[in-house]
Amino acid sequence: MEKLIQITSGRGPLECQWVVAKVLKVFLEEAKNNTIDYEIIHRENGDENLTLKSVTLLLKSKKLNEFLKNWLGSICWTGKSTFRKLHKRSNWFIGIFELEGLETINFNEKDIQFQTARSQGSGGQNVNKVNTAVRATHIPTGESVFVQDSRSQLENKKLSIIRLKEKVLEQNIIQLQKRMQETWNNHLNVQRGNPVRTFSGTDFKKNYQEKSFKKQRNQLKNELKNYKNDLN
């Protein structure tokens, strides 16, 4: 089973971009512990170092659905801004969503057309003498790459497949992200009050549960009310 997952700050501020980077680290640790294969196929860096606006992952495992139950939705980080220490806000939300349309990014090497050419520029005695450079074109999309890193045509061919796959996947991810951007804000507004995960503090503590004394307060109120009735 394969799924395309996006961790995104949406249109959130710099603090949310920081949370995306932190959540990504925890997410990948848990994926590894659950023997889930993953590949980062696209990332959009944030406005400061060590921050991310979004990252898209391709996950592969037979138990993906069970793993993602604890992740898909909104994620809340509770803490003071690491960038604006006087900011009053203490809850920052990001989202983790499954990108629909994974079938559109299927990449088959049979769809690649290869052309050989002489390498250009400096590079050794084979340059301009032997056809070692390779141009690979993905016929369905028209995307192409030109590789002349090695003196070996076979090695250049292997590299061209890897780079062409990355290029085709990235273009498809960008298209999917544009579609997701329109639904992101509505989704986040609905889920904001009900995060699937909550973290706290600059050390990003896991499984943080907000302490609530609501039950205790209600119990005390009832006891006080009964006490007053007894006095009357």
Which positions ≥6 away from 132 have C-beta within 8 Å? 116, 118, 119, 126, 148, 150, 151, 152, 153, 156
Q: How is residue 15 written in tokens? A: 């603090």
Sign of the Cα torsion 12, 181, 4, 198 reads positive
Please give the pLDDT value at position 209.
47
Please tell me the predicted confidence (pLDDT) of residue 128.
Answer: 53
Listed as ranges, residues in the chain with pLDDT below 70 are 101-106, 121-129, 176-193, 206-232
The answer to whether 95 touches 75, Cβ cutoff 8 Å, is yes
pLDDT of residue 59: 93
The Cα–Cα gap between 204 and 93 comes to 14
Q: What is the longest distance spanned by two Cα atoms in the chain?
A: 108
Write the pLDDT tens digit of every residue in 136-167.
999 988 899 999 988 889 999 999 999 999 88
Q: What is the 3-state secondary structure (H, E, C) of the chain?
A: CEEEEEEECCCCCHHHHHHHHHHHHHHHHHHHHCCCEEEEEEEEECCCCCCEEEEEEEEECCCHHHHHCCCCEEEEEECCCCCCCCCCCCEEEEEEEECCCHHHHCCCHHHEEEEEECCCCCCCCCCCCCCCEEEEEECCCCCEEEECCCCCHHHHHHHHHHHHHHHHHHHHHHHHHHHHHHHHHHHHHHHCCCCCEEEECCCCECCCCCCCCHHHHHHHHHHHHHHHHHHC
